[in-house]
């Protein structure tokens, strides 16, 4: 219903167990975007926070990243909980190492009404692990 469209959204994501590529949490930030285009570069960042802080607040939203193996990397089994996200905002992860949004890496979610946002987010997290990583 239209009333539900104005309610804050909650997202709960888990990194797939078969994910073999890992990336440092410090390379990523959570971004809330307002977009009038499909191009992320044309979106306005409404709020952002580094994943390395694990918990925090962006506007009226809160996030908790659980690094299950406490290795400082995005890895299998880790979870990200977002609560109270503004309904007009889109969610994306920004990878400072590649200087791009993970959704722009070429992994696109199927266009399925009602599931697109969640599947896109899961695809974005999956894409984060497909990028080659530098050795520090």
Q: What is the CATH number of the domain that holds 37?
A: 2.60.40
DSSP state for residue 56 in the 8-state scheme: E
Query: Looking up tokens 């990194």, which residue turns up?
Result: 15
DSSP state of 71: S
Q: Is residue 27 part of a domain?
A: yes
Does residue 114 fall inside a structural domain? yes
User: pLDDT tens track of the chain, all 136 residues?
Assistant: 555 578 899 988 888 887 666 789 999 999 999 998 888 888 999 999 999 889 999 989 999 999 999 999 988 889 999 999 998 998 888 989 888 888 876 443 333 333 344 445 555 555 555 555 555 5
Q: What is the 3-state secondary structure (H, E, C) of 90-128?
A: EEEEEECCCCEEHHHHCCCCCCCCCCHHHHHHHHHHHHH
Q: Which two tokens stand for residue 40?
A: 């992320």
Residue 82 resides in a domain: yes
Integer Cα distance of 14 and 19 in angstroms: 11
Q: Does some domain include residue 135?
A: no
Look at the chain and report how many structural domains it folds into. 1
Evaluate whether residue 36 is within a structural domain: yes
Residue 64 lies in a domain: yes
Q: Considering the domain boundaries, does residue 136 fall inside one? A: no
Question: What is the domain extent for residue 54?
Answer: 2-130
């Amino acid at each position: 219903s239209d009333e539900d469209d104005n309610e804050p959204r909650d997202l709960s994501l888990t990194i797939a167990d078969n994910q073999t590529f890992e990336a440092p949490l410090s390379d990523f930030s959570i971004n809330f975007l307002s977009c009038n285009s499909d191009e992320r570069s044309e979106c306005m960042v409404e709020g952002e926070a580094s994943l390395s802080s694990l918990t925090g607040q962006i506007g009226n939203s809160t996030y908790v990243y659980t690094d299950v193996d406490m290795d400082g990397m995005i890895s299998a089994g880790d979870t990200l909980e977002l609560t109270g996200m503004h309904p007009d905002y889109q969610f994306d992860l920004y990878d400072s190492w590649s200087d791009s949004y993970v959704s722009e890496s070429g992994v696109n979610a199927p266009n399925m009404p009602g599931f697109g946002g969640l599947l896109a987010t899961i695809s974005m997290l999956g894409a984060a692990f497909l990028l080659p990583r530098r050795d520090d």
